[in-house]
Amino acid sequence: MSKPTPLFVNLYMYAVNKAAYKVLGRGGLVLSRAASEELLSYLKRNGYLPEKPSWEDVKRLFVEELGLADDMVFSREGSSVTIEMRGLKVAEFLKLTREENFEPVACPLAGVILRVCEMMCGCRLVLRGFKALDPTTVRFECATV
């Protein structure tokens, strides 16, 4: 299966997030959450993820099928959950969010990752922070509730 080019992914992420941030501000996170649920349903319905996906299922999807990252790491310690995506193919997009000082608010793919982690943990997750550690690595820091 051929994958979208990194240029396409970066342009798409930039345009959607910039527009969502301009129009909705942080309220774009609500839109992203709803889109994540629709995307998760689509992925399950079309066989890209099983009904009860594991971390390995999500990692396979994002690394092998979608080609969006080289690696993904999940860790849980007490009420803290960390998800790290390494070798991301959206470095240009992340660079632009920093340069233009806007927050990525519309990323249903990240929402799918968080939703599957909630299923694995058996509880809701609250995103405490999103950090770009370098141009190709991001970390989601969450707390369980």
Pick the CATH number of 6-144 from 3.30.450, 2.60.40, 3.40.50, 3.30.1380: 3.30.1380
55 residue type, one letter: W
pLDDT at 87: 94
**Spatial distance between the Cα atoms of 111 and 16, rounded to a whole number of angstroms:** 15
Q: What is the pTM of this model?
A: 0.82
Strand order of the β-sheet with 80-86 is 71-77, 80-86, 137-144, 125-134
Which sequence spans correspond to the domains of the chain?
A: 6-144
pLDDT at 1: 55
**Spatial distance between the Cα atoms of 74 and 96, rounded to a whole number of angstroms:** 26
Per-residue pLDDT band for 82 (boundaries 50, 70, 90) equals very high
